[in-house]
């Protein structure tokens, strides 16, 4: 390797500014969608399908965040975790977060926001996560290399799932994640309310916005 893993992390602009990168893409897109005309009408078949997709994505988010916390909570970076959800994807926490963002796009019924989320996901996969994996490869060496060869970076593969008889759980980490999820649960309900408000005639619509 031409440079040390910590040096690679420090020199990665996308890693150091990953929060800012997400905000720059998603916050303006979300505000624009908020005041644009709805893409599909509430109560339509398409609207029902997007609501269903949104709730499925949200349940995937909850499942993978909690499941990954059971395995990694309190042990992150201390050992290479390759069991449970980490047998299906190298980044179950990132996959859960992606599902969370997708749930908002579906519940708001916005193809534009969906596109922005997919663009951001591609940037994270190719830059932010890649920088983190440089660190893991430098720390765990051949063990990480073997695991990464057979395990997808983001999208889980159910065929790789291996069941466990037991797992050591950090209750502190699990409690912290559960509290985070309680706060996150506000998103789908808020998105549903906003989606209905956007369909009302008195809601401010900026018709010149070429998005939905």
| Domain residue ranges in the chain | 5-198
Of residues 16 and 35, more confidence is placed in 35
Average pLDDT over residues 38-62: 90
Residue 207 pLDDT: 62
Tokens 């193809």 -> residue:
111
- CA-closest candidate to residue 5, choices 96, 199, 113, 140: 140
Chain-wide mean pLDDT for the chain?
Answer: 83
Residue 1 reports pLDDT greater than 70: no
* CA-angle at 99, arms to 194 and 60, nearest 5°: 105
Residue 27 pLDDT: 81
Tokens 């591609």 -> residue:
122
Segment (H or E) for 150: helix 142-150
pTM over 0.85: no
Residue 40 pLDDT: 81
Please state, in angstroms and rounded to a whole number, the distance separating the CA atoms of residues 54 and 191: 10
Average pLDDT over residues 133-155: 90
Q: How confident is the model at residue 4 (pLDDT cuts 50, 70, 90)?
A: very low
Please state, in angstroms and rounded to a whole number, the distance separating the CA atoms of residues 33 and 27: 10
Q: How confident is the model at residue 211 (pLDDT cuts 50, 70, 90)?
A: low
């Amino acid at each position: 390797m031409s440079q040390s893993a910590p040096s690679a992390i420090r020199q990665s602009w996308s890693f150091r500014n990953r929060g800012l990168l997400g905000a720059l893409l998603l916050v303006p897109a979300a505000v624009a969608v908020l005041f644009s005309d709805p893409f599909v009408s509430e109560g339509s078949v398409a609207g029902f399908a997007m609501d269903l997709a949104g709730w499925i994505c949200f349940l995937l988010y909850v499942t993978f965040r909690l499941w990954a916390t059971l395995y990694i909570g309190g042990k992150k970076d201390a050992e290479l975790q390759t069991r449970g959800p980490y047998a299906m994807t190298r980044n179950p926490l990132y996959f859960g977060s992606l599902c969370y963002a997708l749930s908002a796009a579906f519940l708001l019924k916005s193809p534009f926001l969906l596109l922005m989320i997919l663009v951001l996901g591609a940037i994270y996969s190719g830059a932010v996560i890649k920088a983190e994996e440089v660190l893991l490869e430098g720390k765990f060496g051949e063990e990480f290399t073997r695991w990464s060869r057979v395990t997808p970076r983001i999208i889980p593969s159910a065929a790789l799932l291996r069941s466990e008889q037991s797992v050591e759980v950090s209750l502190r980490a699990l409690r912290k994640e559960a509290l985070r999820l309680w706060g996150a649960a506000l998103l789908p309900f808020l998105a549903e309310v906003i989606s209905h408000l956007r369909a009302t005639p008195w809601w401010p619509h900026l018709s010149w916005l070429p998005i939905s």
